């Protein structure tokens, strides 16, 4: 039977559950990827700066263990261009089903992969990056919040970023950053994410290629312990922040990370591991493991043991399914265990259909909320694009403010559709294409205002028929915000 967690991205990736193993360099090797995919999730091999020979060997290892689809994670910005080109060649020659890219957007790489029939995912840290990646051809976006372990692209908390990115793009969005439990996954589903990309929780598993020292440090981590720092920088572009567990480097014991000195602190075979390097301790490393980058997201405090990857995945899935089921029951019963029974045998008011009382029934409300959601998603995308294209700084700032409102209402509508037991629409309203066909920024802004006016009329029509006080209050706030935005845009247009 299909899981209640199943989303369209599962069909794209060929997995049962929208639980994705992050492509952690030095950690996500064939053993861990095979364990996660065989258990119904989806796994990325972490192949940053790895040789084509290792990529081919790891791909073969996954295929020998499972017949399910999997992916490879590459990072152009942290890889010599010649090596990166060879990595792409290897992925294409091996017909890797999915490739994910991170950090700087490589349009050429996306085009090469798409031309070879490979599905492309891009991890992003902002709405601007998300829109650019979608325009470049990315078919899946991974919104990475600042809570993430390892390299962090943006500065926005995950919940806010997911809501904003979902509103701004039309492709499936996965969430990444501090996710360790089924409750986390269920909550992000409520914000419109189609699944979760999980790193730290899978790093601390038996199949992970991370060193046991690193795994145990995660198990021992306490809430609020992780550190965001740029101290680990060797092998990466300057200014790239990471989230790690505290150690002698983050404590300043080794002095200034940018002094220019090079000091060997370990070995991985014949390869030297340098102080302040981005390398995290793997099974094959020896040396001063404590001084290496001990990557961990803010969800590390939720990890209590080193267990098989399949066991961790099943626990996340079971809790998430239970949370979604509980939300559905709560939505049907109004937040109580059972519907109230009326004391009057004549009226049976507790069982009366909302239509009889003049209120909109649940199916009608869901249809209207989804219609508004599609319109708000279109409005968010249009205003985001218009803000980026506006030559007038004042208009650009105004469009950014309207965009922020549109994204906010997308999140609100998504939440209410789920609370009412419905499935949020993934469509973008036709308004988007119509608005973007207008080249002039002032003319497009006027058209945006007409779209805002349509939303206002729709809200006025439905508000009198909304029985739930909380939903009524949210829709009334949405109406007020749209009226205010219309006035502000009219004032700007003169």
Mean per-residue pLDDT, 396-411: 84
User: Kind of pairing, strands 140-144 and 195-198?
Assistant: unpaired
pTM, rounded to two decimals: 0.72
pLDDT at 357 over 70: no
Counting residues of the chain whose pLDDT is more than 90, the rounded percentage is 73
Q: At residue 355, does pLDDT exceed 80? A: no
Task: Tell me the pairing of strands 195-198 and 242-244.
Answer: unpaired
The fold of 8-212+301-323 is TIM Barrel (3.20.20)
pLDDT at 438 over 70: yes
Average the pLDDT over each of 60-64, 87-91, 466-470 and give the range with the smallest value. 466-470
- Superfamily of 351-493 according to CATH: Ferritin, core subunit, four-helix bundle (1.20.1260.10)
pLDDT of res. 454 = 94
| Residue 405 pLDDT | 82
Q: Rounded to whole angstroms, how far apart are CA atoms 81 and 345?
A: 78
Q: Tell me the pLDDT band of 190, cut-offs 50, 70 and 90.
A: confident
Round to whole Å and give the CA distance between 246 and 350: 57
Give the residue, 339 or 120, on which the prediction is more confident. 120
> Identical fold at 8-212+301-323 and 351-493?
no
Tokens found for residue 322: 């239970």
Structure token digits, residue 158? 């995950």
d(CA 130, CA 297): 22
Determine the pLDDT at residue 338: 36
For the ranges 109-113, 201-205, 298-302, 393-397, which has the lowest average pLDDT? Answer: 393-397
Secondary structure tally for the chain: helices H, strands E = 16, 14
What would the pLDDT profile of 140-174 be if each residue is shown by its tens digit? 999 999 999 999 999 999 999 999 999 999 999 99
Q: HSE-up of 229 (CA within 13 Å, CB side)?
A: 25
The residue ranges of every structural domain in the chain are 8-212+301-323, 227-295, 351-493
pLDDT band (50, 70, 90) for residue 479: very high
Give me the phi and psi of 46, to 5 degrees please. Answer: -90, 100
Tell me what pLDDT residue 284 has. 95
| Torsion sign across C-alpha atoms 142, 45, 218, 287 | negative
pLDDT of residue 332: 55
Helix/strand/coil for 349: helix
Chain-centroid distance, C-alpha 224: 21
């Amino acid at each position: 039977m299909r899981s209640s967690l199943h989303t369209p991205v599962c069909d794209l990736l060929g997995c049962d559950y929208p639980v994705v193993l992050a492509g952690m360099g030095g950690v996500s090797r064939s053993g861990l990827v095979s364990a996660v995919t065989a258990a119904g999730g989806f796994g990325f091999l972490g192949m940053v700066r790895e040789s084509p020979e290792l990529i081919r060997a790891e791909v073969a290892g996954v295929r020998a263990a499972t017949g399910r689809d999997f992916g490879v994670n590459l990072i152009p910005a942290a890889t010599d261009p010649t090596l990166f080109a060879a990595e792409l060649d290897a992925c294409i020659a091996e017909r890797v089903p999915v490739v994910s890219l991170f950090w700087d957007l490589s349009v050429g790489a996306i085009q090469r992969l798409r031309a070879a029939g490979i599905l492309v995912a891009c991890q992003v840290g902002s709405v601007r990056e998300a829109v650019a990646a979608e325009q470049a051809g990315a078919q899946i976006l991974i919104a990475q919040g600042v809570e993430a372990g390892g390299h962090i692209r943006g500065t926005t908390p995950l919940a806010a970023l997911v809501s904003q990115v979902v509103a701004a793009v039309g492709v499936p969005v996965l969430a990444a950053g501090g996710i360790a439990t089924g409750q986390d996954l269920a909550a992000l589903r409520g914000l419109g994410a189609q699944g979760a990309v999980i790193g730290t929780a899978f790093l601390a598993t038996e199949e992970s290629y991370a060193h046991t020292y690193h795994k145990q440090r995660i198990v021992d981590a306490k809430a609020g312990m992780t550190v965001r720092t740029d101290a680990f920088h060797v092998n990466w572009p300057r200014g790239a922040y990471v989230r790690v567990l505290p150690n002698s480097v983050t404590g300043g014991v080794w002095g200034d990370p940018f002094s220019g000195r090079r000091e060997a602190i370990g070995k991985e075979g014949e390869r030297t591991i340098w102080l302040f390097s981005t390398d995290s301790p793997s099974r094959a490393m020896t040396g001063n493991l404590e001084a290496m980058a001990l990557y961990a997201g803010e969800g590390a405090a939720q990890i209590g043991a080193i267990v098989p990857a399949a066991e961790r995945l099943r626990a996340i899935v079971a809790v998430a399914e239970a949370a979604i089921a509980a939300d559905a029951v709560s939505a049907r019963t109004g937040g109580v265990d059972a519907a109230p029974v009326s004391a009057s045998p004549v009226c049976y008011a507790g069982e009366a259909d909302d239509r009889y009382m003049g209120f909109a029934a649940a199916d009608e409300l869901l249809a209207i909320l989804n219609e508004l959601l599609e319109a708000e998603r279109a409005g968010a995308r249009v205003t985001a694009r218009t803000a980026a294209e506006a030559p007038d700084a004042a208009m650009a700032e105004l469009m950014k403010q309207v965009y922020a409102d549109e994204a906010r209402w997308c999140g609100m509508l998504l939440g209410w559709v789920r609370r009412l037991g419905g499935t949020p629409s993934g469509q973008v309203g036709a308004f988007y294409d119509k608005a973007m066909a207008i080249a002039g920024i002032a003319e497009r802004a006027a058209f945006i205002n007409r779209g805002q006016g349509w939303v206002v009329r729709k809200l006025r029509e439905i508000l009198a028929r909304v029985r739930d006080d909380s939903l009524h209050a949210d829709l009334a706030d949405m109406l007020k915000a749209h009226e205010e935005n219309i006035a502000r845009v009219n004032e700007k247009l003169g």
